A and B are shown apart, each in its own frame.
Chain A
Amino acid sequence: MSKPGTNWQSPDMAQRLAKRYAAERRFKRLGVLAILVSLSFLVFLLVSMLAKGVGGLDLAFLTGSDSTEASTAGVWGAAKGSLLTMLVTIALALPMGVLAAIYLEEFAPKNRWVDLVEVSINNLAAVPSIIFGLLGLAVFINTFNLPRSSPLVGGMTLALMTMPVIVIAGRNAIKAVPPSIRDAALAVGASKMQTVFHHVLPLALPGILTGAIIGMARALGETAPLLMIGMRAFVSTPPAGLTDPSSVLPMQIFLWSDEVDRAFVQNTSAAIIVLLVFLLAMNGFAIYLRNKFETRW
C-alpha cells in the first residue's frame, strides 16, 4: 500500500498508525464488553433469584411437600422425587454407558455397524430433550403400560438421554489411558478382557465418573421430557417408591411459576436456589474428581 519512498516518520503515517491502534483498542474493548455483558447477566440472574428466594428458605420449606397454600408448601416431596428419578437414571445409564464405551474403544472392529453405532451416539447427544419425552410416552407408557408420572419411567427416559453423554465421556477417558499400560498387561499374559477390566477401566474411572456426574447434573435440571410423561403430579406427600406418582425439583419450579398467587414467587425462587445448590455441588464434585485423579501420562 505504501508508495516507494514513503517516510515512516511523516505525520501522515503517524495518523494512520494512530487510527489502526485505536481500532485495535476498540476491538479489544468490544471483547471485554461481550464477556462483561454475559457475566453481568449471570450475576443479575443469580442475585435476583437469591433476593427473591432466600427469605423463603427455612426448615419447613425444606422438609414440606407441595400444597395449595404458598406458606405451607415445601420442596422435600419434589426433591425426593428427583432423588428417586436420579437413582433409576444412574443405575441404568452408568453401567450401560461404560460398557458401550469399553466396547467401542477396545473391542469394536472397524466396520459399517460400528460406524452406525458411533453416528447414532453422537446424534443422540444432540437430539432435543423433548424428543426423548415423546419416546418415553410412546414406548414406556403407551406400549409397556408402566405407571405414568412415576420416577421409574422418568428415570428410564432420562437414562436414555444421559447414556450418550456418558459414552462420549467414557470413550475419551479410555482413549487417554496410554497403550503402554495395555501392552504391559498383555505382555505378562493377561487376556484382553483382563487387561481392560483390571487395568484400563480403573485408570479411566475418574474421567468416566466426571462425565457421568456432568450428565446427571444435566438430567437433574431437565424438565421438558418429564413434562411429556406426565411427571407434573400434585404431590402432597413425598413418593414412597419408584412407581408412585411424583414430581421433580425443576417440575416443581415450573408448576409454582404457573401459580397466580403472588406468594408463590418466593417459593419458586427458593426452589430454584435449592436446585442450583444441588447442581453446583455436583459440578463442584466433578471438578474436584478431575483435579484430584487427573493423571498426565
Chain B
Amino acid sequence: MSVILLLFLVAGLGLIGWLVARAKAQALYTGRGSMHSRPGHHGWHLALWIVIPALLGISAWSSLSPSLIHSAVLADPAAASLPLMDMERNSILSEAYAIAQNPNAPVFNPDAEKLVPAIVAANQKFGFIGAALAIVLAFVGGAFGYTRIRADYPARTRVERLVLGLLLIASLLAIFTTVGIIASLLYETGIFFSKVNAVEFLTGLHWSPANGSFGAVPLFWGTIFIGAIIAMIVAIPLGLMSAIYLTQYASARMRRVLKPLLEILAGIPTVVYGYFAALTMAPAIRDFAGFIGIANPSTESALAAGLVMGIMIIPFVSSMADDSIAAVPQAMRDGSLAMGATTSETIKRVMIPAALPGIVAGVMLAISRAIGETMIVVMAAGAAANLSANPFASMTTVTFQIVQLLTGDQEFDSPKTLSAFALGLVLFVVTLALNIIALRVVKRFREAYE
C-alpha cells in the first residue's frame, strides 16, 4: 500500500473522527454553561488523537522498514548467490532496489533481476504491516480520544496547547536553520583545515586548487574590489542622490511614480544582470580598454561585474538613505531653512550629517549584499585569481570560486570541494558581522532622535 494512499486514509479517519466527536458533543449540550468546550474543539481533539498516533506510527515504521526489508531480502534463497565482496554486492543490491521501484530501470546485472521478486514481496509484506500498524494506532488513539468526550473535559485547552507547541516549533525553525548553516559550514571547514593549514588559507597569495595551493587572499581582494569598491562607487552617489531628490525635491506624485520604477531594478533576477554584464557591458568595456591603450584587454573584467552590481544595488542604497533621511526630525530641517539656508545647503550641512550613521549602516548592508552576490560575478568576472588593482583585469571572487568548486564532477572529501565550504564560512562570518554592526548602528541612530 503506498504511503500517499495511507496518508489519505488517515486523514479520512481523522475527518470522520472530527464529525463523530462534534455530533456527540452537540448531543451532550444541555444548556448554558453545561460544557467546558465547544463541540468543534471536541471534534479537533478526537481528530488529533486519531491522526497523530497514526502519523507517528507511519514515520517510525518508514525509518525502520528499510532495514527489515533488507534483512528479509538477504534471507531469501535468491540472495545466497550474491558475491561476498562488499562493493559488488552493494551495487547489485542497489540495482535490484532500483528495478523493484521502477520496472523500466535499465538492467546491467542479471543477478539483480533475480532478487527483484524477493524485494517486491518484502516491500509488500512490510508495507502491509506498516499500514496495519498505522490503522490500529489510529483506532486505539481514536478510542482513547472518544472516551474523553464528556461535558467537563477541557478539549479546548488541550487542543490549544498543541497548537501553541506547533507555533513554537515553527518559530524555532529559524534557529535550526542558523545552527544548520553554522554547523555544516564549520564541520566541512574543520575537515578542510585538517588537510590544509588555516593560516595558509587565510593569508596565502596564490590560489590554484587544482594544484593544491589554497591561498585565498586574491579571492578576498577580488571580492572587495568588485563588491565593496567598484560597485559602491556606482551605487553610493547614484543611490544617495536619487534618495535626496525623491525625499527633498520631488512632489508627492512624482515620488509615487519614480520610487516603484527604481525598485524594479531591485526585482530583476541577478541572472539577468549577469547576462547583461557578460553580453553587453563586458565587450563594451573591453573595447573601451583597447581604445585607451591597454594591450590585450580581457572580456571578463572586474569593472563590468562591478558596474552592473552597483546598478543592482542602487535601489537598496536609495531606500536605506531614504529611511535615514526621513528619520531626521523635521525641526532640524525647518530650523536650517528658517535661518535662510537654501534647500541644498540644508541637505548638505544639516540633513546628511544628521543622517550619516543611518546612511553608513545602509552602505554596510549594501556591501554585505554585494559581496554575497553570485550570478553577476559568475557570468562576468572570470576565473583567474589576480591580485591587482586594475579594473580592466579579470578577477575572481569568493562566490565565483564556491560555484566553480562545487559544480561539475566532484568527490566529496577532496580538499578542493571542502575549500568551498571554508570560503562559504568566511563569507557567512563577514556578511553576518556587517549586518550585526549595521543593525546596531541603525538602532542607536534611531534612539538618538527619539
Contact = CB atoms under 8 A, between A and B. Distances in A.
B372 A130 contact: yes
A127 B436 CA distance: 11
Interface stretch (B81-89, B139-147, B204-212, B398-406): B398-406
Nearest to A98: B170
A122 interface: yes
B167 A99 contact: yes
A276 interface: yes
Interface stretch (A16-24, A55-63, A172-180, A202-210): A16-24
Contacts of B369: 126, 128
Nearest to A106: B167
Interface string A74-106: 000000000000000000000111011011100
Interface string A151-189: 000000000100110010000000000000000000000
A45 B248 CA distance: 28
Nearest to A96: B170
A128 B431 contact: yes
B123 interface: no
B325 to A, nearest CB: 12
Contact of A39 (B181, B262, B267, B280): B262
B167 A283 contact: no
Contacts of A32: 245
B275 interface: yes
B245 A34 contact: yes
A279 B267 contact: yes
A283 B267 contact: yes
B270 interface: yes
B274 interface: yes
Interface string B275-312: 11011100000000000000000000000000000010
A191 B407 CA distance: 53
Interface in A244-297: 250-251, 253-254, 257, 265, 268, 272, 275-276, 279, 283
Contact of B164 (A107, A138, A251, A283): A107
Interface residues of B, number: 84
B308 to A, nearest CB: 9
B345 A130 contact: no
A120 B178 contact: yes
A97 B173 CA distance: 9
Interface in A206-251: 217, 220-224, 227-228, 230, 232, 250-251
Contact of A135 (B174, B180, B249): B180
Contacts of A26: 344
A134 B420 contact: yes
A223 B375 contact: yes
Interface string B184-213: 110110000000000000000000000000
Contacts of B239: 34
Nearest to A114: B171
A142 B174 contact: no
Nearest to A197: B163
Interface in B398-445: 399, 402-403, 406-407, 412, 420-421, 424, 427-428, 431-432, 435-436, 439
A42 interface: yes
Question: SS class of chain B's interface: helix, strand, loop or mixed?
Answer: helix
B202 to A, nearest CB: 19
Nearest to A131: B428
A128 B399 contact: yes
A35 interface: yes
A24 B399 contact: no
Given A20-B345, A38-B265, A128-B374, A253 B171 contact: no
Nearest to B318: A38
A100 to B, nearest CB: 4
A54 to B, nearest CB: 15
Interface in B252-285: 258, 261-262, 264-265, 267-272, 274-276, 278-280
B174 A163 contact: yes
A123 to B, nearest CB: 6
Contacts of A193: 160, 163-164
Interface in B213-247: 237-242, 244-246
Given A24-B342, A35-B246, A48-B276, A131 B173 contact: no
Q: Interface extent on A, as a size class?
A: 35 or more
Nearest to B430: A128
Contacts of B407: 227-228, 230, 232
A62 to B, nearest CB: 19
Contact of B160 (A42, A116, A130, A191): A191
Nearest to B347: A27
B124 to A, nearest CB: 22
A18 B237 CA distance: 26
Given A103-B167, A217-B267, A121 B174 contact: yes
A268 to B, nearest CB: 6
B275 A257 contact: yes
Contacts of B5: none
Given A128-B372, A130-B374, A107 B167 contact: yes
B41 to A, nearest CB: 10
Nearest to B187: A138
Interface in B29-49: none
A96 B399 CA distance: 29
Contacts of A104: 171
A117 B267 contact: no
B262 A35 contact: yes
Contact of A42 (B156, B185, B261): B261
A135 B315 CA distance: 29
A272 B275 contact: yes
Given A31-B241, A34-B245, A223 B269 contact: yes
Contacts of A42: 261, 264-265
B198 to A, nearest CB: 19
A137 B368 CA distance: 23
Interface of A: 20-21, 23-24, 26-28, 30-35, 37-39, 41-42, 45, 48-49, 95-97, 99-100, 102-104, 107-108, 116-117, 120-124, 126-132, 134-135, 137-139, 142, 160, 163-164, 167, 191-193, 217, 220-224, 227-228, 230, 232, 250-251, 253-254, 257, 265, 268, 272, 275-276, 279, 283
Given A34-B240, A127-B428, A223-B271, 5 more contacts: A31-B242, A31-B248, A99-B171, A103-B170, A124-B174
27 contacts: A23-B345, A26-B344, A28-B245, A33-B241, A34-B240, A34-B241, A35-B258, A39-B258, A49-B272, A99-B167, A103-B168, A103-B171, A117-B172, A117-B174, A128-B372, A134-B185, A139-B180, A142-B412, A160-B177, A217-B267, A221-B267, A224-B270, A228-B402, A232-B407, A265-B279, A272-B275, A279-B269
